[in-house]
Amino acid sequence: MDSRYDIAIVGSGPAGLSAAVNARVRNKNIILFGNAEFSEKLIKAPKIKNYLGLPDITGLQLKDKFENHIKSMNINITLERINEIYAMGEYFGLMVNQKMYEAKAIVLATGIEYTKPLRGEEELLGKGVGYCATCDAPLYKGKVVTIIGYNKEAEREANYVNELVKKVYYIPMYRDKPNLDDNIEIVEDKVLEIYGKERVEKVILENKQIDTDGVFVLKDSISPAQLVPGIAMESNHVKVDANMNTNIPGCFAAGDCVGRPYQYMKAVGQGQTAALNAVSYLDKQ
């Protein structure tokens, strides 16, 4: 088991980086989860005109400035994707595949998820629809499972599930050819709906229907409500107060994930507020 960090920051966009910098200034032992490009949205921005002090900067240039800043403070990004965060009371458990990190406080800075849920997905969650194939696959022994994969990572899970169940259908939501075990049936078609009355019965596609007992939807990023079970949401944003507190003590949130406007400076300011309040939360412990 890894040692327990003071603050775990989930997300490497402007809000997360700002939280990391401010927590580090206060000498906290932090871990920052994210990806090497920091933020897809940032590097794609052609021109940014409203970041104070840096007029007409491009997203890539701003990313370089952010990178220099965190490097100068010896902050590294841990390139792992958090699957689920458990509020254990005294600490938080952050699950990465089969590994667990522990932190006393959390700053969520996950951005906003644009992938809309599929029709039927939310209604049938827990009634055959799941997001963690490795967790629930053994419940489908001798049954038919359909995997809707949004990324290459989902292929590994599909191969694992294939060892446990009777039959696996794989629906890729991306262009690359999936690399899967031979007896997995690849279905290249557009998903219209996950259908079922009491529980999942079939997946309805544009050109065919698949009878299935379970559906796993494996996305790039999941909504905060699934990431942190028990967290209070307001429509599709994390509910926070002016101190960036969520409803869970010790769990803070900042940036696009807490609401509009979706802007760099707002994200950075909220990241700072969240980090400073996480620091005072720790000092009171």
| C-beta closer to another protein: residue 98 or 235 | 98
- Those residues with Cβ within 8 angstroms of residue 180's Cβ, 6 or more apart along the chain or in another chain: 155, 158, 159, 162, 170, 186
| C-beta closer to another protein: residue 55 or 138 | 138
Encoded tokens for 263: 């802007």
Give me the least distance between CB of 182 and another protein, in Å please.
Answer: 26
DSSP labels, 235-285: TTEE---TT-B-SSTTEEE-GGGG-S---HHHHHHHHHHHHHHHHHHHHT-
CA–CA separation, 203 and 82 (whole Å) = 28
Q: Answer yes or no: are the C-beta atoms of 170 and 145 closer than 8 Å.
A: no
SS3 label, residue 156: helix
Give me the least distance between CB of 191 and another protein, in Å please.
Answer: 19
| C-beta closer to another protein: residue 23 or 145 | 145
| C-beta closer to another protein: residue 132 or 186 | 132
| C-beta closer to another protein: residue 67 or 84 | 84
| C-beta closer to another protein: residue 45 or 95 | 95
Q: How far is CA 81 from CA 3, 11, 23, 32, in A?
A: 18, 9, 21, 11
DSSP labels, 189-245: S-EEEEEESSSEEEEEESS-EEE-SEEEEE-SS--HHHHSTT--EETTEE---TT-B
Give me the least distance between CB of 12 and another protein, in Å please.
Answer: 24
Give the footprint of another protein on this chain (CB under 8 A): 84, 86-89, 93, 95, 98, 125-128, 130, 132, 135-136, 138-139, 198-200, 214, 229-230, 248
Q: How far is CA 266 from CA 95, 132, 138, in A?
A: 29, 33, 44
Q: Answer yes or no: are the C-beta atoms of 176 and 150 closer than 8 Å.
A: no
Give me the least distance between CB of 43 and another protein, in Å please.
Answer: 33
Give me the least distance between CB of 59 and another protein, in Å please.
Answer: 36
Give me the least distance between CB of 130 and another protein, in Å please.
Answer: 5
| C-beta closer to another protein: residue 98 or 183 | 98
Give me the least distance between CB of 46 and another protein, in Å please.
Answer: 40
CA–CA separation, 99 and 152 (whole Å) = 20
Give me the least distance between CB of 87 and another protein, in Å please.
Answer: 4
Q: Answer yes or no: are the C-beta atoms of 79 and 31 closer than 8 Å.
A: no
| C-beta closer to another protein: residue 6 or 102 | 102
Beta bridge partners, 253, equal 108
